[in-house]
Each structure stands twice: as structure tokens, then as C-alpha cells.
Amino acid sequence: MIPNPALATFLDPDDVPDNMAEEIPDPGVAIGHGHEVKLQMLAFWCNYITWTNRTWNPAQATVANLTDLFAFKKQLETRLKEDNPKFPDKWTESKKARSIIEDMDEWIEASYGDRFPLSYIVRENDDVPTGRANGYYPLGTPSYIDNLNTRLSHYDANGNYVPDYSNHNSKVWEMIFAVTHHTTAYSWVKAFKTYRDGRGAMLSLKSHYLGASHVNSVKVVADNVLNKIYWTGNGQNFTWDIFTSKLNDAFVDLEENGEPQSDEAKVRKLLSKIQDQKLAVAVSTIKASATMKLDYQEEALDFLKGQVDEIYGAREEYQQNCRISQLNSGGRGTEGGQGRWNQGGGSGGQSNNNRGGGGRYGGRFGGRGRSAGRSGRGTGRGRDGQRYSSTGVPLHNGTYPFAVWQSFTAEEKDIVNNLRDQRGNSANQSGTARSISQVENSESAAPDSHRQRTDDTTPTYHGGSSMMRGGNSQQRNNNNN
């Protein structure tokens, strides 16, 4: 209230009307739009300072800082008007508990309540960090949202939940209830239903499913798989893809629960599980390769996949005559997917008499085969009918690393190219697509690692990894034919 300025117009107090008030509400000062916006900026600055439990520092309230924070205000208001993502899928025993909880965390991270992001509800520490070292100023470090997540209060000065916290906490509970109700996980959260305590329910799920006892159980199962599964070449139930999928699944479980395996250790474990004599040369090749024995995913598995496809035939026949011995009597079942390992494969040596490495990496590491002619005597046939290069590398219609291809003479390259042409003609006549192991790749496709066909200007690639790192097999076939 302010003194009524109209009273000043009366020189004699007796002339003042009886109904004229001595004080009136302060009408303020007329200001322009620019000043009004700046006052709005300052008001939001004060609110944000209070929300994030900071003390007032006038030196920080510069026009630049006010403008930057006010832009965040508009972004926050826009996001609050939008709908939250749909709830994660229902809890199921067919999916790892860790994956489901990660989906729930992602939903919380992307969702908002009436005023704030929900992620501050489930942060690790419910107390607000104190001290200048914990982010007093500047604001927005590392971001304004992060400041809200880490500094919004759960409790008031009396230790009671603040209203905003209670409202937002109940929204987290709604999601948890929808995901877990009528599932085995609900028993671990139902105690929090009365107070709709989303934070408590989420911490309970993590304590049980990601706690020490559960983690140890997961690791025991993973170790059991790694100890009891073998590839022997005479089983009847599962494919190579399932065999490698179970190995990969076990490695992932160990890594997610604090026991990551190095690539070298994974390769050693993989090779120790192979008891198929038809893969003996491939195993020896990997052991002798400085690259493959240190690269589980891109080199060792990819190479072995190509050998299996080459040895056991096309995918349709291979699916019916799979070669795995599964000795795991108590581990969990895992569906075998084609995944990245089904994207291609090199070709392996066909003769058990060949001591040298065949296929993608054959010859580079393993020396020449028993049936090969000696170096310098030219290309010839071994006792097993297999043709070999002068350096003892089997000549076939598959793919070769760049260094191996470069070691071939012009005559040997022509033999390989003719074999590939015969393979292509056979596939075209039968109407059957090329097998995965015949997909050629660009890993070693240097200018002199391919030839120019007389009837086509498109080069045919001869090298490298059977895993396709660009394009698909249909596109590659179109380019080569």
C-alpha cells in the first residue's frame, strides 16, 4: 500500500471527501516489454536457485546467465506438456532381469512429472550435495536438467517428504506396478504399494536382482555353460549358431556382473570347446595367427563360422544335419539366432591330410599342406586330389586374405577364378543362392587383389573377412555377376 496521491490535491484537509482512502494499492511502475521479460527471467532464476538448494549470489545473475536459464525454462515447459513414453514391457522370466531393469531405468530417465524430470526420484543418494565443490555455481554444470536431478530435495527441513517429491514418486510407482504386477517380481515391490513408493520399489528390485546373491547365481550359471558345452561334430539338435550364442551369452553375463573376459581369454575358451577333427586345421590356424587369437568377435568367430558353413554345406542342409554336442544338463536354454556370425564365412581346407591352414587364413600362418608340392615346383594336385599353390595353400572357390592372394601366381589366380565361375554357374542353374561362405568381402580388396573380367567391367573381390562390413550378399552377387 502507498499514500493516496489524490490527497495532495487538497490544500485544506477539511475539504477531503469522507470516502477517500488514505492509502491505495501500489499500482507499480509502467515499464516496457523488454524490462518485463527481464523481470520474468529474474523470477525464474530465483525459483531455480531455491529448487536446487543454492544460496543467492547477485554476481551470478548477469543478463547472459538469466537469458540462458530462461531458455531452459521454455524447454522444460514444452517437455512437461508432452506425454511420457509408454511403460516398458511386462516382466518376464524369458528376459534377463538386468535388461528389464535397464528398460525401467530408461523409462524413468525419459519421463517427467508435473514439474520435474522423474530421474531425481531414483538417484543413488537421496541427500542434496553440499559445499561449493558440489556445484553451487555456475548453474547448468554439466546441465540444468542434471542440476535438478542431483539437487532437488526429497525432504524438507523437518525430515518430511516435500509435496513435489511425493507426487513424482507416485508416478514412478505407477510404472513399476504396471511392469511387475502378476509376475514373480511383484513380491519384491508389493510392500511399497500402500505409500506408492516408487523409489523404494525400484531400489528393492535392484537389491534383489542385481545384488550379490543374484549376481553370484548368474555367474555360476555362466561358468556352468562354459564348462559343459562342446562342439564335437556329431550331435543332432543344435546349430553352430546356438553353440556360439550360448558361449557369447555366458561371456556377456560374466561381463555384466563384474567378471569381463579379454578377447584372448574368449578365444582360448572357444578353441578349447572345439573337439571336431574337421576343424583341427582351423583351430591351428587361429592359434598361429597373431591377429585372430586376440580378436574373438571380428576374427576368430567369423573365421570359424566360415569354416563350418564350408564343411557342413549350405544353410538348408546344415539346418537339418547340425553338428553340436550339448553336454549342458542344467544350464539355461538360449535361442540360436543368426546374428552377425551368419553374415558370411571363409572357405576351409577340404582335406584332413593338409597340415597347412586352408580357407580365409590358410597358408598365411600354417605353412603348406602335406599333399602340396614343394615351393618353387609350381601348382599341382596333392594325393587327395586337392589343388595347391606353389606355397602349399589349397586352391578353391572361396575367399582369401589379401596377403595370401598376393602370394599366388597369375596361373594360380586363374585357377581360383575359374573355380569361382564354375560355382556361380552351378548356383545359377540350380536356382540356389550362394552359400554364406561364398560371400566376398572388401577387407583386402586392394587394386591388385581383383581382376578385370573380359565380359564385365565390374571387378570381382578376392580377399578378406567373410563378415560383410558394408552392403548385403544380394548386392555383392549383383556386382559380381
* DSSP per residue, 423-442: HHHHHHHHTPPPPGGG--BS
Contacts from 33-41 at CB under 8 Å and sequence distance 24+? 38/63, 38/66, 40/70, 41/66, 41/67, 41/69, 41/70
Sequence letter at residue 325: S
Cell of 253: 553375463
For residue 112, what are the β-bridge partners?
117
Do 364 and 357 touch, CB atoms closer than 8 A? yes
Cell of 281: 586345421
The number of angstroms, rounded, from the C-alpha of 451 to the middle of its chain's C-alpha atoms is 39
d(CA 12, CA 6) in angstroms, rounded, equals 13
List Cβ neighbours of 25 (8 Å cut-off, separation of 6 or more). 1, 2
Q: HSE of 169 in the Cβ direction (CA atoms, 13 Å)?
A: 26
Let me know if 224 is exposed, middle or buried by CB neighbors in 10 A (0-12, 13-18, 19+). middle
Q: What phi and psi, each to the nearest 5 degrees, are found at residue 394?
A: -60, 140
Taken in order 89, 104, 167, 183, the sign of the CA dihedral is positive
DSSP state of 237: S
**Which residue, 319, 310, 323, is CA-closest to 439?**
310
The confidence score (pLDDT) of residue 407 equals 78
d(CA 23, CA 384) in angstroms, rounded, equals 115
What is the four-CA torsion angle of 357, 361, 366, 367, rounded to 10 degrees?
90
Instruction: State how far the alpha carbon of 201 is from the alpha carbons of 54, 90, 93, 272, in Å.
Output: 30, 16, 19, 44
d(CA 411, CA 452) in angstroms, rounded, equals 15
The confidence score (pLDDT) of residue 195 equals 94
The confidence score (pLDDT) of residue 237 equals 65
What crossing angle do the helices spanning 263-272 and 240-256 adopt, rounded to 10°? 140
Kindly state the helix (H) or strand (E) to which residue 3 belongs, with its residue range: strand 2-3
Instruction: State how far the alpha carbon of 206 is from the alpha carbons of 52, 248, 271, in Å.
Output: 27, 24, 36
The confidence score (pLDDT) of residue 148 equals 94
Q: HSE of 411 in the Cβ direction (CA atoms, 13 Å)?
A: 7
Q: Which residue has the cell 490544500?
A: 11
d(CA 242, CA 326) in angstroms, rounded, equals 10
d(CA 309, CA 306) in angstroms, rounded, equals 5
d(CA 339, CA 321) in angstroms, rounded, equals 20
d(CA 178, CA 267) in angstroms, rounded, equals 42
Task: Return the SS3 of 351.
Answer: coil
- Taking the chain (481 residues) in runs of 10, the rounded mean pLDDT of each run is 84 84 83 88 94 89 94 95 95 89 96 96 87 67 91 92 95 97 95 96 91 76 87 73 87 85 91 89 88 86 86 53 44 38 37 37 37 41 63 75 78 88 66 41 39 36 36 39 39
d(CA 449, CA 408) in angstroms, rounded, equals 10
d(CA 284, CA 419) in angstroms, rounded, equals 26
Instruction: State how far the alpha carbon of 264 is from the alpha carbons of 209, 280, 465, in Å.
Output: 30, 19, 19
d(CA 364, CA 393) in angstroms, rounded, equals 8
pTM higher than 0.85 for the full model?
Answer: no
The confidence score (pLDDT) of residue 152 equals 94
For residue 380, what are the β-bridge partners?
388
Buried b (16+ CB within 10 A) or exposed e, 468-481: beeeebeebbeebe
The confidence score (pLDDT) of residue 395 equals 81
**Which residue, 174, 191, 194, 190, is CA-closest to 182?**
190
DSSP E strand boundaries for 338-437: 380-381, 387-388
Task: Return the SS3 of 113.
Answer: coil
Cell of 384: 587327395
Pairing state of beta strands 229-230 and 325-326? Answer: antiparallel
